[in-house]
Amino acid sequence: MYQWRKFEFFEEKYGGKCSIPEEITGKIQCCSSGRGKVLIGCDDGTVSLLDRGLKFNYGFQAHSSSILFLQQLKQRNFLLTIGEDEQISPQLSPLCLKVFDLDKMQPEGTGTSTSTSSPDCIQILRIFTNQFPEAKITSFLVLEEIPPILFIAIGLDSGCIYCIQGDVARERIKRFKLQVENQSDKSPSSITGLGFRVDGQVLQLFAVTPTSVSLFNFQAQPPSRHMLDQIGSNVNSVAMSDRSELIIGRPEAVYFYEVDGRGPCWAFEGEKKFIGWFRGYLLCVIADQRNSMNTFNIYDLKNRLIAHSIMVKEVSQMLCEWGNIILIMADNSALCIGEKDMESKLDMLFKKNLYTVAINLVQSQQADGTATAEVLRKYGDHLYSKADYDEAMAQYIHTIGHLEPSYVIQKFLDAQRIHNLTNYLEKLHEKGLASKDHTTLLLNCYTKLKDVEKLNMFIKSDDSMGELKFDVETAIRVCRAASYHEHAMYVAKKAGRHEWYLKILLEDLGSYEEALQYISNLEPSQAGVTVKEYGKILVEHKPRETIEILMRLCTEEGEPAKRGTSHGTYVAMLPSPVDFLNIFIHHPQSLMEFLEKYSNKVQESPAQVEIHNTLLELYLSHDLNLPSISQANNGENGNVREEGPSGAAVMSRSESNAKLRENHRFMNKENDLQERLQKGLKLLKNAWPSDQEHPLYDVDLAIILCEMNAFTEGLLYLYEKMKHYKEVIACYMQAHDHEGLIACCKRLGDSGKGGDPSLWADLLKYFGELGEDCSKEVKEVLTYIERDDILPPIIVLQALSRNPCLTLSVIKDYVARKLEQESKLIEEDRLAIEKYQEETLAMRKEIQDLRTNARIFQLSKCTACTFTLDLPAVHFMCMHSFHQRCLGDNEKECPECAPEYRSVLEMKRSLEQNSKDQDRFFQLVKSSKDGFSVIAEYFGKGIISKTTDGPAGAH
């Protein structure tokens, strides 16, 4: 024990100036603490309450004579005392137990003296009765069970323990006795110490005598006794630890007891005056045989050190309160000792380089991880400064999670200490605290050391765990840089980073077939993503295989499980070929093959329009590359110069071969262009079904492509399909194709078939402005213009007069026929005018006659009933006569002439209403061959000429 180090982890509080207050005049017999108070019982029967710093609060008279024992309860503010009171009768003992409620104060005092207050005594119990004979009390202990139940144990010098259990305040209690020593013993030993132990629902009681240690178990009825040891101790040398262990101090050692017997033993020599326990420390007041002084030691048993040691006078009481240890001396002086803070204790240890002790100290006092890590760091720094790198790293490893890793890494970046750094980084990854930079550094360490075994362990050690403990992307990047491609691929595959796996296969290893096989085994969604990213490389080296994979992704191939859904719904769920167009940016030939295959396979794709647009662009382009031909040519170039015996022969042969290849290439290109143009025309026609208003491609884009690439056939089809007939003949005009132009007008200029007759006028204007002899064509055009009466002769003459190459003979016959027709029309109009004039004169004469002359009605029969006409009769100006009874209520209209008259009125009303319908008038003018005739007809009907007088202000 003399080897234990001594430290000053405790210090005297209040500057060492601490003593019992003067208000306490009696001799101190007992003490207790709790609830922020220290209670002192004296031989004059008074109890004094002291505040922090042993300041006197108040006192009261608890017993008339001496107080032997007292105990402050923790759960309730109750005080239990055992003391002597006045003896009422010789048969009754003066000793009694009192219970005070310190929260309830009652005034006391007599006469005119100043009254003071004292706690309310809520119960007084006689300890000794007829069944419990009187003996000297040597120990006293109270256990607070579930409130308000108390368990009171009173030890006697007769070797018995009197127990009182129940609600003491209401005296609902039961008493029983425990016998420590056997009845056969002639000299029973007194009870020198008691200790309660609560283990779950089991209540146990330690009982100590000078010659034994016993344990009572109250789970059994009656309580069972178990002898733990044949040795005991004296009074004040018994305590309980915070782990419910019984502590006994004897001159040779300090003993700990569990429920099953003696536990650890600490050989501290010297008579133990007092034994105590404080926050994991063992407190001992040991008598010094050489003088009258005593030594007060505080032992840290976990760390095997003496936390404090001081020489003290004779100690009468020892207790703990306010986080301090309080020693009350026999001369009424006091000593308050408090524990220093952790930082002060550690500083003390650091100054002496006692880092191991410091580590044990912080761990034993359950300090937080940060505080422990700080001590370990300082210890590691100390070892590092002594060049003990292995041990220093062992300490730094324990700081992982609390100390910034860069602090340690920076110290071990030297190449000679790379093994220590590797060890630290491995531990960092094991605990899942490594960042991307740490992973990079560790992998670099492995590659620098060329330690493939450790690299394998690091990367492949988590086969069964599933989740990797490092940053995947960083590991892959470092392994690639160090040419550990196999490891990089393993990590990428395990982590499901398919893009990295393929990047290594394609960019580093050039394993295109393996990459394609890998993509084929992926989920469709993952396969689509990877093909988008690396499709350019795959198309360049393996175009056919890449197209097969794309076909499987974009069609129903290889997905029989999903065939249950409707075709349209499933196709909409699949990737679109449009998503993969970018990978064919340098390989349009492969793109064309892919889209053709897809279009043949899937007829109702959601991306049909985009696909057709792309195919049209490919079909109509003049400079579409042909990779297969160019590759073949390159191969031929490499083999040509090996033939022939001499340089001149080789040169001449190579020149001739070059010409042949050039011609062959030109022919292939021309044939390919014509084939693609035919495909383009076929696509334009097939993708615009006759039953649909709009095509399955962008019409504007198709027109632009046809114009850019001078694809006249496609342009003519599109214009004709869109009914842009004028643009159709403009194409023929631009191509100077007169035969095709006239044939087109024959087809598109027939109004009976929905054509546009105005095309003939445009055609005539074209020939009029042509500036060359086109008499044959003009005659043919005039035939159709005359047949359908499309243009008046004057317009025809004006149009053709601009062409100086045309003679009058071209239109001589046409003009003669037109003059003859016009003459006939003029004669017919003259005869019609004369007829209308005669009819008008007759009508005017009849109107004048009706106005001026009388009418004689000579009809003898009624026009309605054909009977003889008699009065009353009604005669109409139309020379019809009727009986009045035959007319009924309508006497103002002739029943015979009324229908004709009404029809005329109805026609007039309709004409007036049509005159207000301007839209119909303009529509008739626009749709008629001869708009002038429509206007003349409206004038003839008297509709346009009819005006109404407006307001005066309008004139």
Could you report the per-residue pLDDT of 243-279, keeping only the tens digit for each?
A: 999 999 999 999 999 999 999 999 988 889 999 999 8
Residue 809 has which token pair?
A: 């003979």
Percent of the chain with pLDDT over 70: 87
Whether 867 has a pLDDT exceeding 60, the answer reads yes
Residue 106 banded pLDDT, cuts 50, 70, 90: confident
Query: Tens digits of per-residue pLDDT, 17-56?
Result: 788 998 998 899 999 999 999 999 999 999 999 998 899 9
Q: What are phi and psi of 911, to 5 degrees?
A: -65, -40
For residues 804-832, average pLDDT: 85
Whether 507 has a pLDDT exceeding 60, the answer reads yes
Whether 420 has a pLDDT exceeding 80, the answer reads yes
Whether 619 has a pLDDT exceeding 50, the answer reads yes
- Please tell me which residue, 525 or 355, carries the higher pLDDT value: 355
User: Tell me, what's the pLDDT at 752?
Assistant: 66
Whether 397 has a pLDDT exceeding 70, the answer reads yes
For residues 268-293, average pLDDT: 88
**Contacts of residue 268, Cβ cutoff 8 Å, sequence gap at least 6:** 1, 253, 254, 284, 286, 297, 299
Whether 647 has a pLDDT exceeding 60, the answer reads no
Query: Tens digits of per-residue pLDDT, 208-250?
Result: 999 999 999 998 888 999 999 998 998 889 999 989 999 999 9
Whether 631 has a pLDDT exceeding 50, the answer reads no
For residues 912-936, average pLDDT: 75
Whether 565 has a pLDDT exceeding 70, the answer reads no
CA–CA distances in Å: residue 144 to residues 153, 166, 199, 202: 12, 10, 14, 14
Lowest mean pLDDT among 279-293, 304-318, 472-486: 472-486
Q: What is the 3-state secondary structure (H, E, C) of 156-203?
A: ECCCEEEEEEEEHHHCEEEEEEEECCCCCCCCCCCCCEEEEEEECCEE
How many C-beta neighbours within 10 Å does residue 320 have? Answer: 17
User: Tell me, what's the pLDDT at 638?
Assistant: 41
Whether 447 has a pLDDT exceeding 60, the answer reads yes
Lowest mean pLDDT among 118-122, 532-536, 765-769, 847-851: 532-536
Query: Tens digits of per-residue pLDDT, 76-97?
Result: 999 999 999 887 777 788 899 9
- Please tell me which residue, 632 or 167, carries the higher pLDDT value: 167
CA–CA distances in Å: residue 372 to residues 5, 28, 396, 400: 21, 44, 11, 11
* Cis peptide leading into residue 222 (ω within 30°): yes
Query: Tens digits of per-residue pLDDT, 332-349?
Result: 889 999 998 888 888 888
Mean pLDDT computed over every residue of the chain = 81
Q: Identify the CA nearest to 155 among candidates 187, 198, 182, 189.
A: 189
Lowest mean pLDDT among 115-119, 188-192, 223-227, 902-906: 115-119
Most confident of 13-17, 457-461, 875-879: 875-879
Residue 286 banded pLDDT, cuts 50, 70, 90: very high
Q: Identify the CA nearest to 357 among candidates 419, 307, 426.
A: 307
- Exposure letters 275-304 (e unless 16+ CB within 10 A, then b): bbbbeebbbbbbbeeeeeebebbbbbeebe
Helices (H), 271-351: 342-351
User: Tell me, what's the pLDDT at 137?
Assistant: 93
Query: Tens digits of per-residue pLDDT, 361-377?
Result: 887 776 677 888 888 88
Whether 186 has a pLDDT exceeding 80, the answer reads no
User: Tell me, what's the pLDDT at 605?
Assistant: 78
Q: Evaluate whether 491 touches 468 at the Cβ level (below 8 Å).
A: yes
Residue 557 banded pLDDT, cuts 50, 70, 90: low
Question: Whole-angstrom Cα distance, residue 557 to residue 215?
Answer: 84
Residue 195 banded pLDDT, cuts 50, 70, 90: very high
Percent of the chain with pLDDT over 90: 22
User: Tell me, what's the pLDDT at 641?
Assistant: 39
Q: Identify the CA nearest to 37 among candidates 23, 22, 53.
A: 53
Question: Whole-angstrom Cα distance, residue 803 to residue 819?
Answer: 23
Whether 660 has a pLDDT exceeding 80, the answer reads no
Whether 937 has a pLDDT exceeding 60, the answer reads yes
Q: Rounded to two decimals, what is the model's pTM?
A: 0.53
- Exposure letters 124-139 (e unless 16+ CB within 10 A, then b): ebebbeeebeebebbb
CA–CA distances in Å: residue 192 to residues 81, 156, 206, 208, 551: 18, 8, 11, 6, 96
